[in-house]
Amino acid sequence: MEWRNYEYDCRARYGSQESSVFGDRITVHDLQDQAMSGVHRLSGVFLLRGAHVSKAKKIEGARIIDLAPTILYALGLPTPRSMDGRALTHAFIEGYADSHPVAYVDDEGSAREEDPTPSKGYTDEEAEAIEERLRGLGYLQ
């Protein structure tokens, strides 16, 4: 789901809890002294370097979820089938992807499943502390 291309700025909280950056009415004065805490737009910078990488090429259509598959591809490692995104093979020199196709691996047999000491989860005290923290943040009632 995309919300207007994420074109809004996030700023530090101001005023009371009833005030909101997304409220019905805010003025420039309300925000002018607030430091920007984030810009949620889909644009960004992605740099890739290596022997088989195209030089000075603009990578069109890249998304943040494509970074991990692309890094795995550049390292010659397979991408888990359940991983979101795709390897940006068009960032590599012409013909490289033809001779080096993207490899995939099923999630079965992953290191997580083969771990001889699986996690025992949280203790009752830890679970209670987490629940209390989430309640304090307003995620639980």
Same domain, 71 and 29: no
How far apart CA 89 and CA 61 sit, in angstroms, is 12
How far apart CA 89 and CA 98 sit, in angstroms, is 10
Tell me what the mean pLDDT of segment 1-29 comes to: 54
Quote the pLDDT of residue 113: 46
Same domain, 51 and 81: yes
Compare 16 and 38 and report the one with higher pLDDT: 38
67 has pLDDT over 70: yes
Query: In sequence order, which residues have a C-beta less than 8 Å from that of residue 21 and are 6 or more positions away?
Result: 8, 10, 11, 14, 31
How far apart CA 78 and CA 63 sit, in angstroms, is 19
Same domain, 23 and 54: no
**Which residue type, as a one-letter code, is found at position 93?**
I
Same domain, 108 and 62: yes
Same domain, 50 and 18: no
Same domain, 14 and 81: no
Lowest mean pLDDT among 36-45, 57-66, 120-129: 36-45
Same domain, 50 and 24: no
* pLDDT tens column, 77-108: 999 999 999 999 999 999 999 999 999 998 86
Same domain, 70 and 28: no
The count of domains in the chain is 2
How far apart CA 21 and CA 15 sit, in angstroms, is 10
Task: Work out the mean pLDDT of the chain and round it to a whole number.
Answer: 77
Same domain, 79 and 27: no
Torsions phi, psi of 89, nearest 5?
A: -65, -25
Same domain, 83 and 122: yes
Same domain, 66 and 134: yes
Same domain, 29 and 63: no
Quote the pLDDT of residue 135: 86
Compare 29 and 103 and report the one with higher pLDDT: 103
How far from 57 is each of 40, 43, 53, 75, CA to CA, in Å? 25, 16, 9, 20
Range of the domain at 66: 46-141
